[in-house]
Amino acid sequence: MVWEERWHPLREEWVIVAAHRQSRPWQGETVAEQAVELPAYVADCYLCPGNVRASGVRNPHYVDTFVFENDFPCVAVDAPAVEPPPVGFYRNRAARGIARVVCYSPKHNVGLAELDQRAVERLLVVWQEQYRELGALAGVEHVLIFENKGEVVGVSNPHPHGQIYATNFVFKTIEQEVRASERYWRERGRGLFEEVIRAEQEDGRRIIYENEGAIVFIPYFARYAYETYVAPKRRCASVSDLRDGEVGDFAAALREILVRYDNLWRMPFPYVLVLHQAPTDGGDYRAFHFHIEIHPPLRQPHLLKYLAGPEIGGGNFLSDTAPEEKAAELRALSNVHYKRARS
């Protein structure tokens, strides 16, 4: 048995690694595998081409990536002023911003892992365009781009899609990473995330995939069993800073890990995928290193990583698996999607 604490330099917190807990007896709730084969088009899907959404707006017959304003946004440009003010020292304000949905494909049954290289590159370009457009708006301090995939993370519509929140505040995790990166730059004169990449390359055991411009790895300080980072090797503040050649390398790296995820248990692999990129409030973020973090909730085919006392109550993660072992599992898998391999 091994009890180890690993320092998470981006979040500036300790992660407890107790991999022997993975084999402990389990009598709790499990997650059923998604075995249903979805059709390419569903008549009552709000996201399929040509269908009418809940708002009454009809989707165009799109053939590529499709972006639209969220019909049920959590923030709005015209959010009314909040009245009356709260009692005592509490503060509040209107939740102003823009929320959008990004459909990856017109096909209801083709996830991000199943898109070809060109389609993933096109999605990256759309993300770049959205970051630039929304980030340039007055009052927008941060553009959060993410995908929630799978019922176990609360997705109500299986049509492959992601979301964008352009908000009047910077999300807390990004704020923390910005502070850690700037502090490291001031004290060491080096990029913090570049140090992470260098350490992963020197060790080598947790790297899943690497090409000239991008790298995929399970970080030394991973909190979830199959948590992976996808990053450009060159430090850039946001997805919009990727150069043409880097877009191709980054798309290849992203496809590589998503295909391996699905191949792991031959099922659509659930996750929360988030683009970690610099705020858009006009600050100097040269020390920040854009990357994608993917947090899968499953630690076994039907078993969730539950957040409990240490995580929710204490604020620090307890990992039941060793990052080195999980990286070896993912490296051993084919990079050809299992659906394509069996056809």
Binding site residue list: 45, 48, 108, 159
Binding residues for Zn(2+): 45, 48, 108, 159
User: Rounded to an integer, what distance in angstroms lies between the CA atom of residue 134 and that of residue 305?
Assistant: 34
Residues 6+ apart with CB under 8 A from 173: 11, 276
Active-site hit among 142, 161, 276, 295: 161
Which parts of the chain are beta strand (E)?
4-8, 13-17, 66-69, 97-103, 142-149, 161-167, 207-210, 214-217, 228-232, 271-276, 291-295, 298-300, 303-304, 318-319
Dihedral pair phi/psi, residue 338, rounded to 5°: -60, -30
Alpha helices in the chain (DSSP H): 117-135, 172-188, 192-203, 244-265, 323-331, 338-342
Q: Is 161 a catalytic residue?
A: yes
User: Rounded to an integer, what distance in angstroms lies between the CA atom of residue 319 and that of residue 104?
Assistant: 32
Residues designated catalytic: 161
